[in-house]
Structure 1
Amino acid sequence: MAEIRTERLLLRPARAGDLEALHFILSDARAMAYWSSLPHRELDQSREWLQSMIDNPDGEGEDFVVEHQGRVIGKAGLFRFPEIGFLFDPAVWGRGFAQEALRPVLDRAFAVHGLARVVADVDPRNRASLRLLARLGFRETERKAKTWLIGDVWCDSVYLRLDAAGWPAARVRPVNPA
């Protein structure tokens, strides 16, 4: 898996040494408010989650740890093609890091992996993620009620889609492997 450098970020493969930093994010209730699971209470939950990132088979997905100035601030990628996902430390929200990370992920999805589309499943209460995906060209395709049982609360889904044709060549920048 490639490493990608943007103006401010490094997107790289996950490694075992990322456990503490990712657990810090995965155990934060704000970061996990709209995720598909409750915040992680135990380090072993995060270890298992991280190991699934590390063990993601080639050709099934491409998920990156995101660093800023040498510090892990989140993850962005396609754990399983073609679904995109991202999670960032709330301390860095509002600084444009998610959009900066997702652009090269989408570039690779279409140009390197040849995907015809990328999809997203977003909790409708997560307005920030819905706005971000709309800015990237995603369009809503469907809404469904009670799609995720998180703890004892049923959550709904907004499904979005970005077709390769909707990711204009003018927007695709060369991917710079590190």
Structure 2
Amino acid sequence: MIRTARLTLRRARASDAPDLHAVFTEPAAMRYWTRPAHDSLSETEEWLAGMIAADPAEADDFVIVHNGRIIGKAGAWRLPEIGYILHPAYWRQGLMREALQAVIPYLFARHPVPALTAEADPRNAASIGLLTDLGFHETHRAERTLKWGDEWCDSVYFERPRRAGDGPAPVPVPTAPVGSGS
């Protein structure tokens, strides 16, 4: 669990489905997500089950709780890539910035990754601005990376290298030489 001035970031539970469904049925929130809004609670429950069952060595994700209600999620959905979503009723209040300012150092301290990455739709100026403000820099762009409904979307990719103060540096994993028989 991570606490900030206004938020609690905690592990997801199956009982979080109704609150997350309120996020995943919002067309504005889902506009730049990997798929259109959820049509049913069972879709959200299935998505949530995957989040809960994710291997902790490959994912480190949190639900965002504000005033006792889940308003989104933030974390590494697939290390080293972060992902986040917030209900539109909570946009432009600095809440996602607050969440990510807590999650980023947590991820670096817990996982031996040299950098965190992120992907955004180039039309999502708010997300691009947030990532840039958090120290991410653009690495490249690609066209037609995701089919959202009937529309092909492009992607812009970001990276935020580990810095002093981000936690322990990655420990190299020794590898046996090829053909050593070990």
What TM-score, normalized to structure 1? 0.91
Say whether 1:6 aligns with 2:4.
yes
Q: Structure 1 residue 109: deviation in Å? A: 1.6
Q: Which residue in the other structure is 1:115 paired with?
A: 113
**Structure 2: how far apart are the matches of 1:75 and 1:89?**
9
Distance in 2, matches of 1:115 and 1:103, equals: 17
Determine if the alignment matches structure 1 residue 37 to structure 2 residue 35: yes
Using the TM superposition, give the Cα deviation of residue 61 of structure 1 relative to its aligned residue in structure 2, in angstroms.
1.1
The one-letter code matched in structure 2 to 1:124 is: P
Identify which of 37, 44, 47 aligns with 1:46. 44
Structure 2 partner of 1:61: 59
Structure 1 residue runs of 5 or longer lacking an equivalent are: 174-178
Deviations 1:44-73 (A, max 9, x none): 111111011110112111000000111111
1:114 Cα shift? 2.1
Aligned to 1:94: 92
Q: Structure 2: how far apart are the matches of 1:114 and 1:104? A: 17
CA drift of 1:103 comes to: 1.2
CA distance in 2, matches of 1:4, 1:116: 22
- CA–CA separation in structure 1 for the residues paired with 2:130 and 2:56: 28
Number of residue pairs matched? 167
User: What do residues 87-125 of structure 1 show as CA deviations (whole Å, max 9, x unaligned)?
Assistant: 000000000010110112110121221211110110001
2:23 aligns to what? 25
Q: Greater CA radius of gyration, 1 or 2?
A: 2
From 94, 103, 106, the equivalent of 2:104 is 106
Partner of 1:153: 151
Higher relative contact order (Cα pairs below 8 Å, separated by 6+ residues): 1
- Cα distance in 1, alignment partners of residues 102 and 112 from structure 2: 14
Identity percentage over the alignment? Answer: 46
SS of 1:155's equivalent in the other structure is strand
Aligned to 1:176: none
Query: What are structure 2's unaligned runs of at least 5 residues?
Result: 168-182
* Shift of residue 9, structure 1, vs aligned partner: 0.3
1:80 aligns with 2:69: no
Partner amino acid, structure 2, of 1:59: A
> What is the CA RMSD across the aligned residues, in angstroms?
1.1
Q: SS where residue 9 of structure 2 aligns? A: strand
Counterpart amino acid of residue 10 in structure 2: R
